[in-house]
Amino acid sequence: MNPLRIMFIFSVIGLMSLFLMSSDHADAPAVTSSTSDISDFYAFAGQNGMVFVATLQGSLGPAATESATFDENVMIEFNIDNNGDYYEDLVIQAVPGTKGKTKRMWFFGPVVPSKTGKTSTVELDAEYQGVVDISTYGADAITSINDKGIKFFAGPRDDPFFFDLEQYNAIQAGTAFGFNTTGIDSYKGKNVMAVVIEVPTSLLGGTGILNCWVTTKRKQ
């Protein structure tokens, strides 16, 4: 598939909302352990703009990470509300594909979406576009930057989410009453498939307050 040449309609299968950071980690039965399962979504001020991070396919061990790929039938869509009405005013779409033997991630946006809500169309005519080769496990990270100053990355990363799952389960069972000051990182040694975008703030519009969420949408 080359997403630069073919237009697809996608429908929502996974969603993660956020202010600063949000976590899911296998909490959505319909997509758990699938290539569309969203683990975490992060948004924060970076060195040169706003950084948006979506991680998918959580808790991959080293062997699973070696063979993990982005699903070419699944689009990752970053949604940005810049006027406070909780509808997406801008989207950034990440669409995986293959050119020759090289796996790549194409990006479209930020752009005003032609469709909102549960279905999306790849915004091929978006003014801002980019592409990056997908990094491979154990190799140096590959990044790219377009002429608008938007930076891109896609590939496996160590799971940045810290959570003491064992202690949480103990609290839920009533055998513990709080988290330890220094917890155990249950996700240590686990990996995720990550998409990272840094966008100059001037391209996001609005008054400076952003509501953000990420969705995964499967090709129809």
In the predicted model, is pLDDT for residue 9 greater than 60? no
Tell me what the mean pLDDT of segment 142-152 comes to.
97
Distances 185 to 159, 161, 163, 180 between C-alpha atoms, Å: 10, 8, 5, 11
Q: How many domains, in total, are found in the chain? A: 1
The alpha carbon of residue 28 and the mean position of all alpha carbons in its chain are separated, in whole angstroms, by: 16
Residue 22 — pLDDT band, cuts 50, 70, 90? very low
- Out of 1-15, 143-157, 183-197, the most confident range is 143-157
Q: Is 140 exposed, middle or buried (0-12, 13-18, 19+ CB in 10 A)?
A: exposed
Q: Is residue 2 part of a domain?
A: no
Does residue 3 form part of some domain?
Answer: no
Q: What is the pLDDT of residue 220?
A: 83
Rounded to an integer, the average pLDDT of 142-156 is 97
> Residue 138: inside a domain, yes or no?
yes
Residue matched to tokens 């033997």: 101
pTM of the entire predicted model: 0.84
Q: Is residue 1 one of the residues assigned to a domain?
A: no
Domain span holding position 149:
9-219
Angular region, 59: left φ>0, alpha ψ -120 to 50, beta rest: left
Q: Is residue 26 part of a domain?
A: yes
Give the pLDDT confidence score for residue 5 in this predicted structure: 36
- Mean pLDDT throughout 48-57? 93
The rounded distance, in Å, linking the Cα atoms of 70 and 54 is: 12
**Average pLDDT over every residue of 71-90:** 94
Is residue 169 over pLDDT 60?
yes
Residue 180 counted as domain residue: yes
36 vs 76, more confident: 76
On whether residue 156 sits in a domain, the answer given is yes
